[in-house]
């Protein structure tokens, strides 16, 4: 399906009354979560609370029109908010117009990048964020997010963005903690953590049906907001120094292009690219997981277009950058969202709240928002991932560990860049020294395996090397050196067979090396044969005259051996099959 075809036209035409009721209920549940979360993530991003609420209006309408996921809940999310704060904070002081301008341009630039990538069908670049890197990054980002909220939880001043900055700053200011704030935070945290698991059973005990109880339990955030706001108002806690949200402008955001600043935009290009990458990867992972549960499919390129346009919408309506968020998407899915219209309904409800409810949020304490953030990031932390990755492969474990440590110590952009860079370098290192096995025939079969792992039949006049990697510039010379060794160590050698079953590409550098190998073998009186060359590789090699000078070219390794050592091969083929693995191999 073309990326230019609106998904809206597909599901819109078949929209039914059941769709409507599912979507409306899901929208209501998501809205109840999104009002406090939007304000909390705006605070995390260093922006005024309305930036989070605005991020749940136009971007959601745009995603509903363009997106391909029926359950993804787009809007402000914690990791992107943290990255926005890190970038905007490196340009201007928090709370200044320069800071807010930077945040708007981050949304516009990362949105434009996603849109462009989607239109150019370059969604594959997101794959360069390997699983260990993204997983390590998100855990580290969760820790940094939690650390950044200590100030709101304790009512103290802290500074810095990385652990070596934040921790000393907390310790230096811990003496000034504000007890009413601490109590408020503690109550909020305890209630929110309990409500995640305990609220639904408690509601069932009160006589509600299981489904209704599960749905109502999602209102835990709302209860916390309501209770803490009431407490502040009744007890006059704001007059005792408790920080509150304060005035939120009533009404909808205006559509406006932020002031143009070429230097600012140039500076933001790289950080915005990283934010776009992380936002996209987070969103597509969630969308694909949810789609798989309903046997639907997600188009990565169309998702890029939809998220890109949604972020352009955010940047034009004084909103913070957005993407698909994990917790709200799961809630949306569980609450029965049927189509992207659920997102549009959410946007309308948030808009209504902005028109009517903002005065009610005046006394909402920052401590409650911080507690909401802390509880949200708990689900991001996965400390068992590191030992698991390390046990599977030291390279993957190292990539994850480096990403985590650099993120925590130097910052989010640096951590992400270090992780991606290290993954690429380690991949190149691995392929630059490919596994090459000398193989022989497994008795009783036409199959050929590693002489060091299986009891196989070989003859000293013929050496077969199975090259277990595509041949390309990083490893081209390696094979040359290896073949030279084989010539030197096997004086009886007459035929060298390169078994290409695992060679998926041969680039120009490798062709050059193969020609060098051919020349060296000729000088040494050894003939060169190829077997099991795959179609695409053979097509490519035929563009050069390399195959013309080969002594032999065989469809199968068995054909090669039957041509070079017919009696031995036939005898082995008809021998009783035992093929057991060698001891300890």
Euclidean distance between CA atoms 116 and 120, whole angstroms: 6
Nearest approach, Cβ of residue 90 and its own copies (Å):
21
Nearest approach, Cβ of residue 429 and its own copies (Å):
7
Nearest approach, Cβ of residue 453 and its own copies (Å):
5
Nearer CB in complex with its own copies: 328/449? 449
Nearer CB in complex with its own copies: 37/329? 329
581 three-class SS:
strand
Nearer CB in complex with its own copies: 508/570? 508
Quick one: which H or E segment has residue 431? helix 412-432
Nearest approach, Cβ of residue 389 and its own copies (Å):
5
Quick one: which H or E segment has residue 462? strand 462-467
Euclidean distance between CA atoms 225 and 353, whole angstroms: 15
Which parts of this chain interact with its own copies (CB under 8 A)? 124, 127-133, 292, 297, 389, 391-393, 395-396, 423-424, 427-435, 437, 442, 445-447, 449-450, 453, 468-470, 472-478, 484, 501-505, 507-509, 511-512, 516, 520, 534-536, 540, 543-544, 555-556, 558, 579, 585
Q: Which of 327, 323, 343, 221 is nearest to 277 (CA)?
A: 323
Nearer CB in complex with its own copies: 60/558? 558
Nearer CB in complex with its own copies: 470/527? 470
Quick one: which H or E segment has residue 499? strand 495-499
Nearest approach, Cβ of residue 399 and its own copies (Å):
9
Nearer CB in complex with its own copies: 83/126? 126
Quick one: which H or E segment has residue 436? strand 436-441
519 CB contacts (<8 Å, ≥6 apart)?
none
Nearest approach, Cβ of residue 294 and its own copies (Å):
11
Nearest approach, Cβ of residue 106 and its own copies (Å):
25
Nearer CB in complex with its own copies: 459/501? 501
- Can you state the angle between helices 300-315 and 97-119, rounded to 10 degrees? 150
Nearest approach, Cβ of residue 130 and its own copies (Å):
3
CA pseudo-torsion sign 14, 16, 21, 24: positive
Euclidean distance between CA atoms 271 and 254, whole angstroms: 26
Nearer CB in complex with its own copies: 102/483? 483
CA pseudo-torsion sign 263, 267, 270, 272: negative
445 CB contacts (<8 Å, ≥6 apart)?
573, 577, 579
């Amino acid at each position: 399906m073309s990326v230019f075809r609106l998904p809206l036209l597909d599901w819109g035409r078949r929209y039914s009354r059941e769709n409507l009721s599912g979507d409306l209920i899901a929208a209501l549940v998501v809205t109840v979560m999104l009002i406090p979360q939007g304000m909390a993530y705006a605070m995390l991003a260093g922006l005024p609370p309305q930036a989070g609420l605005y991020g749940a209006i136009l971007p959601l309408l745009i995603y509903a029109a363009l997106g391909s996921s029926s359950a993804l809940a787009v809007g402000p999310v914690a990791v992107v908010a943290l990255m926005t704060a890190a970038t905007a904070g490196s340009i201007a002081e928090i709370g200044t117009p320069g800071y807010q301008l930077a945040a708007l341009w981050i949304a516009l630039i990362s949105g434009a990048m996603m849109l462009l990538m989607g239109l150019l069908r370059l969604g594959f670049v997101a794959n360069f964020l390997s699983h260990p890197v993204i997983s390590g990054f998100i855990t580290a980002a969760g820790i940094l997010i939690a650390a950044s909220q200590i100030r709101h939880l304790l009512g103290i001043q802290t500074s810095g963005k990385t652990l070596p900055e934040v921790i000393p700053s907390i310790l230096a200011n811990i003496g000034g903690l504000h007890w009413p704030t601490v109590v408020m935070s503690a109550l909020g945290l305890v209630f929110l953590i309990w409500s995640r698991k305990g609220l639904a059973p408690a509601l069932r005990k009160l006589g509600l049906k299981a489904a209704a109880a599960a749905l109502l339990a999602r209102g835990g955030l709302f209860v916390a907001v309501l209770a803490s706001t009431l407490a502040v108002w009744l007890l006059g806690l704001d007059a005792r120094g408790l920080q509150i949200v304060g005035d939120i402008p009533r009404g909808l955001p205006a559509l406006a292009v932020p002031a143009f600043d070429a230097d600012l935009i140039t500076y933001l290009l790289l950080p915005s690219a990283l934010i776009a990458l992380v936002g996209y990867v987070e969103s597509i992972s969630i969308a694909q997981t949810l789609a798989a549960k309903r046997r639907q499919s997600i188009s990565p390129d169309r998702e890029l277009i939809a998220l890109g346009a949604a972020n352009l919408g955010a940047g034009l309506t004084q909103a913070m950058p957005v993407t698909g968020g994990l917790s709200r998407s799961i809630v949306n899915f569980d609450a029965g969202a049927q189509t992207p219209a659920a997102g549009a309904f959410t946007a309308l409800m948030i808009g209504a709240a902005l028109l009517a409810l903002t005065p009610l949020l005046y006394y909402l304490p920052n401590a409650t928002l911080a507690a909401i953030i802390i509880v949200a990031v708990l689900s991001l932390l996965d400390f068992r991932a590191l030992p698991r990755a390390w046990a599977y492969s030291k390279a993957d474990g190292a990539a994850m560990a480096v990403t985590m440590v650099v993120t925590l110590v130097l910052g989010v952009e640096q951590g992400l860049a270090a992780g991606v860079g290290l993954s690429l370098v380690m991949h190149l290192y691995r392929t630059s020294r490919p596994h090459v096995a000398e193989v022989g025939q497994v008795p009783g079969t036409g199959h050929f395996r590693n002489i060091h792992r299986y009891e196989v039949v070989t003859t000293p006049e013929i050496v077969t090397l199975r090259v277990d990697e595509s041949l390309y510039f990083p490893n081209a010379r390696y094979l040359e050196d290896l073949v030279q060794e084989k010539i030197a160590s096997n004086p009886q050698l007459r035929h060298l067979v390169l078994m290409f079953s695992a060679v998926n590409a041969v680039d120009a550098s490798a062709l050059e090396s193969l020609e060098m190998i051919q020349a060296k073998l000729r000088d040494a009186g050894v003939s060169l044969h190829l077997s099991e060359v795959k179609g695409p590789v053979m097509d490519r090699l035929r563009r050069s005259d390399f195959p013309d000078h080969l002594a032999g070219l065989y469809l199968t390794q068995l054909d090669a051996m039957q041509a070079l050592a017919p009696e031995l091969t036939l005898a082995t083929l008809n021998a009783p099959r035992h093929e057991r693995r060698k001891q300890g191999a």
